[in-house]
Amino acid sequence: MISMTELSKIHNSPESAARLKKRRAAEWRLKAYGIMAITLAGAALVTLMWSVVGKAAGAFTESYITLPVYLAADEIDPDGTGERAIIGRANFGGVTKDALKDAFPFVKSRGDKRAMYDIISGGAAFELRELTMADPAIIGQTIDFRFLASDIADLYLKGSYGDLVEQNAGGTLTVQSDGKTAVVTSSTTDFAFVMARVKSDLLAKAAFNRDQAALQENGRAVFTQRGDLDEAAKREAARDRLLGVAEELEARAALDGGREALDKNSPSVLVRMGETWVKLTEVSATGGEGKIIGVLDSGVRAAGDWQVYLQDLPEASRKVSDLQIVLIENLRSAGAVETVFSKRFFMAGDSREPELAGIWGAAVGSFWTMLVTILLAFPIGVMAAIYLEEFAKKNWVNTFIEVNINNLAAVPSIVYGLLGLAIFLGFFGVPRSAPLAGGIVLAVMTLPTIIIASRAAMAAVPPSIRDAALGIGASKLQTALHHVLPLSMPGILTGTIIGMARALGETAPLIMIGMVAFIVDVPTGVMDSATVLPVQIYRWSDFPERAFEARTSAAILVLLVFLIFMNGLAVFLRKRFERRW
């Protein structure tokens, strides 16, 4: 028997205090792990949302370029018939190109012209055609038309390729032009910033060469140790060559003044004189030599009449070329460029051109698919649940059905896709890519979820309700349909909505049954070829054009809005109607 004094000795000793401290620390640690886990999960969610929302903004606006366009009567409708069919056959792509040529007459070479055409979307010509077909009276006139900008022009206008930054320039600029190229010289060192940039690039290149040389030196040491002198000598030579290159680069960087060439891999330097620009190919601290974009005569420009711009991203690392930047900037200065809310993104079908692509086709496809799914899955699921919960006797057939349903709930969704491919498409001949096929597959997939949720809701109805109904003479079916089913409806609907939300976000099984095809038209029924929102997201995420990234994110946002709405509805139903017995 331990006496109380001894006990208090045990509990008041320094060892016990230390023990207690340790035990409390363990508790604190466990709590900290828990908080850390929740924080990590939250951080993952926030990062995901942030990366999607951050990228989506670009898809909700589109850019337009307004240009005067001459609708020549002898090209569009030579006989003046005013008939839609004849106007529709005219070459509006050519008309669009002519509008650009008129706006920028100095663009001469074929490559430059092609670059110029690329700032306007291929879809703009079709819009011009629609306009002309709707109002033939404008043929023969010059109208101001809002051409949809292409994806690269749009991205540039939204700043996705970095900004064209104006630099300080305070000298007077002397220009010697030969029509194609020009030498520009400033009275002060207005171009020193370029030299500094170029020199830091040179130093970085030198440092890289020194690193490579160090690797070769390592190799030489290793081979010398192994006795492979031939190999060692090769390494030594390579090392010396790299060091030589590094030293030369460093010497170039250290030199004051001098000239440096600018190529596709260095930042672009653009000198602007009103509408005309010079893209520098060679630069010194006070000036440089470059290609004229526009029309330029020799002469002197006072300070303030000219600007110098730096585009930090090298031309080779961006889709939009310096020429295109110059054209867009000229249009922007002329007030011909506007960026507005894009209705097109919500109203158009799919397209291979990012600026023309929209989610309407996929959204309608999703609607038809979900319609088929709910029409099949809801009644069948509820009927199955009624049978299993209210009628099934405990025998091996019913046990087998139950085990089956529980296992089906865990089958990977892609397997349902293959089931659809083999049975519904292959055997029953349901058309490929049709919402009917997708809806059937998703219904089969959602069925276990609905059955399990409905059974849980029916099981929650207390037996006293059934007993009362049976007691006043109702049959078993009347009890189930008139009493248990209405009382469990909120729970059933909640489960159904959650199942439908999952089906709406499902992708893999639909890819299996060909709903991944490129479909431009908006489906008008369950037998048309269609795609659905999540599959559209998958397809767009695969395209190389950068503008599709924003569209993918925006489509994800739309999908998430639908899902949040559905889940919110389920929560509302549960809170509002579910009874606790």
Taking the C-alpha atoms of residue 467 and residue 581, their distance in angstroms, rounded to an integer, is 15
Cβ within 8 Å of residue 409, ≥6 positions away: 448, 449, 452
SS3 category, 565: helix
Cβ proximity to other proteins: between 94 and 379 the closer is 379
Residue 143 CB, nearest distance to other proteins (Å)? 38
Tell me whether residue 339 or residue 478 sits nearer to other proteins (CB atom): 478
529 vs 534: CA distance, rounded Å:
16
What's the length of the chain?
A: 581
CB of 47 to other proteins, least distance (A): 7
Residue whose CB is less far from other proteins, 38 or 255 = 38
User: 275: burial class by Cβ within 10 Å (0-12, 13-18, 19+)?
Assistant: middle
Smallest gap from Cβ 473 to other proteins, in A, equals 12
- C-alpha dihedral, 422 to 427 to 433 to 436, nearest 10°: -110
Q: Give the ranges where 104-175 is alpha helix by DSSP (H).
A: 110-117, 124-134, 151-157
What's the min distance (Å) between Cβ of 85 and other proteins?
Answer: 20
Give Cβ neighbours of residue 280 (< 8 Å, ≥ 6 apart): 184, 194, 262, 269, 270, 271, 288, 289, 290
Residue of 384, 319, 301, 286 lying closest to 544 (CA atoms)? 319
Sequence-ordered alpha helix ranges (H) in 189-228: 192-226
The three-point CA angle 481-485-489 to 5° equals 150
Closest approach, Cβ 99 to other proteins, in A, equals 36
Q: How far is the CB of 367 from other proteins (least distance, A)?
A: 17
Shortest CB 490 distance to other proteins, Å: 18
Helix axes 485-504, 435-459, angle to 10 degrees: 140
DSSP assignment string, 535-563: HHHHHHHH---THHHHHHHHHHHHHHHHH
Q: Which is nearer to other proteins, 388 or 461 (CB)?
A: 388
By C-beta, is 327 or 359 nearer to other proteins?
359
Query: CB of residue 228 vs other proteins: minimum separation in angstroms?
Result: 26
- SS3 for 27? helix
3-state per-residue secondary structure call for 266-316: CCEEEEEECCEEEEEEEECCCEEEEEEECCCCCEEECCCCCEEEEECCCHH
Task: Give the angle 67-71-72 at the CA atoms, nearest 5°.
Answer: 135
Alpha-carbon gap, residue 191 to 186, rounded angstroms? 8
Least distance CB 343 / other proteins (angstroms): 24
Residue closer to other proteins (CB basis): 78 or 426: 426
To other proteins, the closest distance from the beta carbon of 404 in angstroms equals 5
